[in-house]
Structure 1
Amino acid sequence: MARKKKQTLAIILVAILALASVGIVGLAVAKTESAKSTAVFTPPPNTEIPPIPMALWVGDSYTEGTGVREAAQAYPSATSRSLGYMPIIDAQGGTGFVNDGKKNVATNVPMADRLQKTSATPKLVVIDGGRNDGVADFNTVVKPAVTSYLDAVKAKWPDATIVLIVPYYIEGKGVFRSFTNFYAEEAKRIGALAIDPMAEGWFAGMNTAPLIYTDKIHPNEAGHKLLAEKFTARLKELGVSAV
């Protein structure tokens, strides 16, 4: 009888120890699960996405995108996107450094009159005008207007990269040789870059007829696409890229 009592007590003791072990293990598992749960909900470090830099293109109907159905297809917008910039277009048909373009639209004004109204803070400023300034004497009227405009641009955005585009037409009509040396001098003076599509032979030996819009002046969609490719490649060569 005593022997049976001892066996019973031993069994009870083993059971108690087993239950205690289960409790300890359960507590450990609970703590581990709690730790995992806490880790899952730990907030990630605070990261900020830098804003996309802006590229401002200033000019006339070429820059405005005449010849395409959508503004996004125009070469200033397409070039900007390829280089990693958000495009901003300040362009009015018929305008220039001197010409007010009112023959196109009564409310148009020269580029300088639009400058102070531009509230953007671009990292890149591309000046792509001058095609319509043949109405004035280059040396006595246009050159002083250009110099004044460039000084104002530099003062407004001193840290921006400024690019001067020597006026051009895809079909080669109206080559603006007077701007070539002048822009080279002005670029050096204000620390800008200069691109001369005609002097650099962008369209040399090319049949440009399929690239011209029905008005025989502006690039069509294929022309804008080509220009975007040319500008993107040239600006990358010059180190102008936000990507």
Structure 2
Amino acid sequence: MQTSESDNAEKNIRPETQEKDLEVTEEIPDDTELQKAEETEEETQPLAEDIKDKVSQVIESALGLFVKKDLDIVAIGDSLTQGVGDTSHNGGYVGILGNTLNDDGQQKVDIVNYGKRGNRSDQLLKRLDQTEIKASIEEADIVLVTIGANDIMKVVKNNFTNLEYEPFVKEQANYMERLRKIFDKMLELNPDATIYLIGFYNPFENYFSDVEQLGQIIDDWNSTGSTVALEYEQVNYIPTKDLFANTNQDLLYEDNFHPNNTGYKLMAERVLEYIRPEIERSE
């Protein structure tokens, strides 16, 4: 049974912090997804050919994995899907996943990447009406989705001079409703597909580490994604925030917002861990 927006917003947001000023005084770096969104309105081309043609990182833990033949995977969403920050230009976690699943030289898995830098949930919902994307989802066995970080970025940018908690609460409820519409549309196109919503880490941590509320906002929005996923039998939630927290590893690209090659490899490992039962064949 689906819950209402207001019920979930109240459940996910801590009441004692709703009215507090977040007191952010630093400038967000110029190279953010939100600012680049205006420059990327044209549809980016799928990266499937790059994934097939280039040899890059693979996931060592996949050794001995027997993959079902003729699997179709669609990856769609924002820059985390596109692979921004991957200096090998191989498609980020999606490319690593593709290289791993086809590592024996046989093309068993076809992965199409519709990642688009700057994409918000409202924009992704509209993109699902595009002919090429609709056709891909109709044929997909698995759909991987990253979305939501740019929704948060928009709130930050629109309220930067007076950044309070309430606008995030309001937009979180809108994000919840758009997620439902995204999943409904995908399952209408393909009732047999399995959808995986990949959570996001805290992109503000390096710049505003002293502002605890921003970390709570990330947790709240990830909680929203997890809550909505539980409403659908065919939708699963994959957490990634823990991969980037409390670590001495350098996991971010030079912009300190996007993952670097190592960060994307950790994401690929986590995604493979969750989708493995779906793609593995018994011998």
Shared fold (TM-score greater than 0.5)?
yes
Identify the residue that residue 29 of structure 1 maps to in structure 2: none
CA-atom RMSD in angstroms: 2.5
Spell out, residue by residue over 1:164-186, the C-alpha distance to the aligned partner (whole angstroms, 9 max, x if none).
Answer: 12222478565422233333332
Q: Could you say if the C-alpha distance between residues 58 and 177 of structure 1 is closer, same or farther in structure 2, counting changes exceeding 3 Å?
A: same
Match for residue 194 of structure 1 among 237, 251, 255: 237
SS of aligned partner of 2:244: coil
Whose RCO is larger (CA < 8 A, sep 6+)?
A: 2
TM-score (norm 1): 0.64
Aligned sequence identity (%): 22
Q: Could you say if the C-alpha distance between residues 140 and 231 of structure 1 is closer, same or farther in structure 2, counting changes exceeding 3 Å?
A: closer
SS of aligned partner of 1:72: coil
Do the aligned partners of 2:176 and 2:228 also contact (CA within 8 Å) in 1? no
Identify the residue that residue 83 of structure 2 maps to in structure 1: 65
Counterparts in 2 of 1:134-173, with a 5 A limit? 134=152, 135=154, 137-169=170-202
Q: How far apart, in 1, do the equivalents of 2:251 and 2:173 lie?
A: 35
Cα offset, 1:218, TM superposition: 0.9
Q: Could you say if the C-alpha distance between residues 153 and 85 of structure 1 is closer, same or farther in structure 2, counting changes exceeding 3 Å?
A: same
Identify the residue that residue 92 of structure 1 maps to in structure 2: 116
Stretches of structure 2 that go unaligned for 5 or more consecutive residues are 1-67, 102-107, 156-169, 207-213
Q: Could you say if the C-alpha distance between residues 140 and 179 of structure 1 is closer, same or farther in structure 2, counting changes exceeding 3 Å?
A: closer
Cα offset, 1:144, TM superposition: 1.7
Q: Could you say if the C-alpha distance between residues 77 and 166 of structure 1 is closer, same or farther in structure 2, counting changes exceeding 3 Å?
A: same
TM-score (norm 2): 0.56
Say yes or no: does 1:112 pair with 2:130.
no
Q: How far apart, in 1, do the equivalents of 2:225 and 2:199 lie?
A: 7
Match for residue 228 of structure 1 among 261, 268, 271: 268
Say yes or no: does 1:178 pair with 2:216.
no
Say yes or no: does 1:75 pair with 2:75.
no
Identify the residue that residue 15 of structure 2 maps to in structure 1: none
Identify the residue that residue 5 of structure 1 maps to in structure 2: none
Match for residue 133 of structure 1 among 139, 148, 151: 151
Identify the residue that residue 43 of structure 2 maps to in structure 1: none
Asked which structure has the greater CA Rg, the reply is: 1
Do the aligned partners of 2:243 and 2:266 also contact (CA within 8 Å) in 1? no
Cα offset, 1:123, TM superposition: 0.5
Stretches of structure 1 that go unaligned for 5 or more consecutive residues are 1-49, 99-109
